[in-house]
Amino acid sequence: MAYRVPFVDPRTHYKNIKTEVDQAILGCLAQGDLVYRQQLHDFEQHLADFVGTKYAIGLNSGYHALYFSLFAAGIKPGDEVITVAHTFVATISAIVHCGATPVLIDVGPDYNMDVDLLEAAITPQTKAVIPVHLNGRVCDMGQVMTVAEKYNLKVIEDAAQSLGATFDGLKAGSIGHTGCFSFYPFKILGGIGDGGALTTNDPEIATIASRLRYNGEDRETGEYHFHGYTALLDNVQAAVLDVKLGYLPKWIEHRRHIAVLYHEGLRDMADLVIPHFNDPVYFDIYQNYVIRTKYSIDLRQHLKDDGIETLVHWIKPVWDHKDLQLENPGLSETESICREVISLPMSAETTPEHVKHTVQSIRQFFIK
């Protein structure tokens, strides 16, 4: 079905920057620059500069950034890693694939880790914590870092949804030991397929990640240091991402403007919780604009009937996917969020007209 307000619009997105993207792709093809070439190194340097870290290592997914971060932190079977249940499954799968136990804690009103629960979840087996910066907002990293330092835990930031967001002036992915980014096509910086990156200030972690992604090989010496993975960011992807990175500040401003328009249109609705977090410590980039209501199923259907495409992140708690064999940690906030949230259309192509239709439709629903 063609929506009059699409959730995202990849065709228009491409059309708007077509000349530069085509040049980047064709340049790689014409020069034969397909694997581990200058375009990748340039993108990594520009990404590190943007995030504010010494290193950025281009990978084929955000999942691999998480997994390699855990590997570099020495996480092994028997260890525990604390993270939130309200996240994309990859955060948790990366822990499981290390043979470690994910210890899931609840989130607060901004959908990020309830940091007051962190200390109580620590045991002698706890080795690391993965705060997830969901929807374009950084978790309260002040508190996370204080607790982590007290207990000597590694901090792996899952910043897959928050490139460009800041906490206390520090960019997501620059505060913990590593930052993990995803360039899945519908992320704020989206590739033309899967991609990701790990950011860090630690040269040892950067070296480990660089080797792991290339089957364990040191590219200078040809020595294999690990049984590694084929997990390099493709050179063509890097060339395209480098073009798009130049647009990122503009796209962030656009999303923040769209968020203001939603806020103005929806702020007085009694049965609706909207994200208006007016704390100057946070600079949000609105990967998702998430609203919350007890009537979410009916509202979502009403919006669909009105030609407005929405998504739900996520329809049930991760432990309810029985084949994943995760224990039910009994997290009430995570459970009700799954029943109540809707992500509204939000992208670089979302227009004030789109917001107007969406706001009108939501208001009509609640009048009825």
Ligand X SMILES: Cc1ncc(COP(=O)(O)O)c(C=O)c1O
Q: Interface residues with ligand X (CB under 6 A)?
A: 61-63, 87-88, 90-91, 132, 158, 160-161, 182, 184, 194, 196
Smallest distance, ligand X to C-beta of residue 199, A: 14
Rounded to an integer, what distance in angstroms lies between the CA atom of residue 332 and that of residue 330?
6
- Closer to ligand X at the Cβ: 88 or 229? 88
Here the contacts of 31-36 (C-beta below 8 Å, separation 24 or greater) are 33/235, 33/236, 33/239, 34/234, 34/235, 34/236, 35/232, 35/234, 35/235, 36/214, 36/219, 36/232, 36/235
Smallest distance, ligand X to C-beta of residue 32, A: 27
- Closer to ligand X at the Cβ: 61 or 69? 61
Smallest distance, ligand X to C-beta of residue 16, A: 23
Q: Which phi and psi (to 5°) does residue 56 adopt?
A: -135, 130
Nearest alpha carbon to residue 175 among 190, 195, 152, 158 = 158
Rounded to an integer, what distance in angstroms lies between the CA atom of residue 43 and that of residue 119?
38
* Cβ neighbours, 10 Å, residue 149: 10
- Closer to ligand X at the Cβ: 188 or 348? 188
Smallest distance, ligand X to C-beta of residue 15, A: 24
* Cβ neighbours, 10 Å, residue 38: 13
Smallest distance, ligand X to C-beta of residue 359, A: 26
Smallest distance, ligand X to C-beta of residue 103, A: 17
Q: Which residue is nearest to ligand X (CB)?
A: 62
- Closer to ligand X at the Cβ: 161 or 166? 161
- Closer to ligand X at the Cβ: 126 or 161? 161
Task: Walk across the sheet containing 170-171 and list its strands.
Answer: 170-171, 166-167, 282-283
- Closer to ligand X at the Cβ: 118 or 163? 163
Pairing between β-strand 170-171 and β-strand 166-167 as defined by DSSP bridges: antiparallel
